[in-house]
Amino acid sequence: MLHIALTGGIGSGKSTVASMFGQHGAPVIDADEIARDLVRRDEPAYHETVRAFGTGILDTNREIDRQRLGERIFSDASERRILEGIIHPRVRQEIIARTTLASFPYCIIVVPLLLEANMQDLADRILVIECSEQLQIARVRTRSSLSEERIRRIMATQASSAERRLMADDVIVNDTDLADLQRQVDRLHGQYLALAALTRPPSA
Ligand code: ATP
């Protein structure tokens, strides 16, 4: 199976593109979703995170308050690295486990922080989705209550589009409408099927 890592900045369109590939039948593995599940109450990474950051990050149900934890790590790079040290190795393990189970010519692994987490080696190809900063901010703001200042702070912690381009095997430019995005996904779907057929080992 061909492993395609899908990455891009906040609000660039990763989830939208992933669901378009999903409609073609491709299994979609989402690193953010895995990371969220890992720190649910009483999961092993939950205890490690609370030990590292204190009970001040918990809400009244003793679940980790992601907003509060987010405030801490986006304003302090050393705290961000501590959290990454707890989460990233487990996310990597889970991605590998899920790709082993999937059966389709290719799978899509959505890893927003692919470069930052050094997970490029999990992929046969890297698909980068890009859009202008203004569109990123506008799209995130229509979807959430994050302020422009907060979105810009998050963008500052992420790889730049130039850094992503350097790693990209394929690029989707998401600067226009959803119909154009769909056309780009359909074209790549065809290419990935063809590539997977070329790389499939001959059957015994
Ligand atoms: P995040 O990094 O925050 O998880 P993301 O990269 O997964 O975001 P999406 O959630 O797919 O981005 O897209 C952000 C918002 O922009 C969504 O509301 C989505 O519907 C919208 N959107 C994405 N692409 C387009 C497009 N080409 N035209 C119009 N709206 C779009």
Same domain, 23 and 112: yes
* CA atoms of 64 and 45, how far apart (whole Å): 11
Question: Which residues are CB-neighbours of 94 under 8 A, at least 6 positions away?
Answer: 34, 38
Our answer on whether the CB atom of 49 is closer than 6 Å to any ligand 1 atom is no
pLDDT reported for residue 204 = 46
Residue 187: CB atoms within 10 A of its CB come to 12
Same domain, 39 and 71: yes
Residue 117, amino acid: A
Same domain, 192 and 108: yes
Full DSSP string of 18-64: HHHHHHTT--EEEHHHHHHHHTSTTSHHHHHHHHHH-GGGB-TTS-B
- In-domain check, residue 140: yes
* CA atoms of 25 and 20, how far apart (whole Å): 9
Among 27-31, 72-76, 198-202, the range scoring the smallest mean pLDDT is 198-202
Same domain, 5 and 77: no
Our answer on whether the CB atom of 172 is closer than 6 Å to any ligand 1 atom is no
Same domain, 128 and 157: yes
Last residue of a domain, one of 75, 101, 127: 101
- In-domain check, residue 204: no
Our answer on whether the CB atom of 92 is closer than 6 Å to any ligand 1 atom is no
Same domain, 18 and 113: yes
- Which atom of ligand 1 is the closest one to the Cα of 10? 2
Our answer on whether the CB atom of 136 is closer than 6 Å to any ligand 1 atom is no
pLDDT reported for residue 182 = 98
Same domain, 3 and 42: no
Strand partners, 110: 6, 30
- Which atom of ligand 1 is the closest one to the Cα of 8? 6
Q: What does pTM read for this prediction?
A: 0.91
- In-domain check, residue 203: no
pLDDT reported for residue 70 = 87
Q: Is the pLDDT of residue 75 over 60?
A: yes
Same domain, 112 and 190: yes
- Domain CATH code at residue 21: 3.40.50.300
User: Residue 72 belongs to what domain range?
Assistant: 33-101
**8 near 112, Cβ under 8 Å?**
yes
137-158 pLDDT, tens digit each = 999 999 888 899 989 988 988 8
**199 near 4, Cβ under 8 Å?**
no
Q: Is the pLDDT of residue 71 over 90?
A: no
Reported confidence tier of residue 203, pLDDT bands at 50, 70, 90? low
Same domain, 15 and 49: no
17-70 pLDDT, tens digit each = 999 999 999 999 999 999 999 999 988 899 999 999 999 999 999 999 988 998
Q: How many domains does the chain have?
A: 2
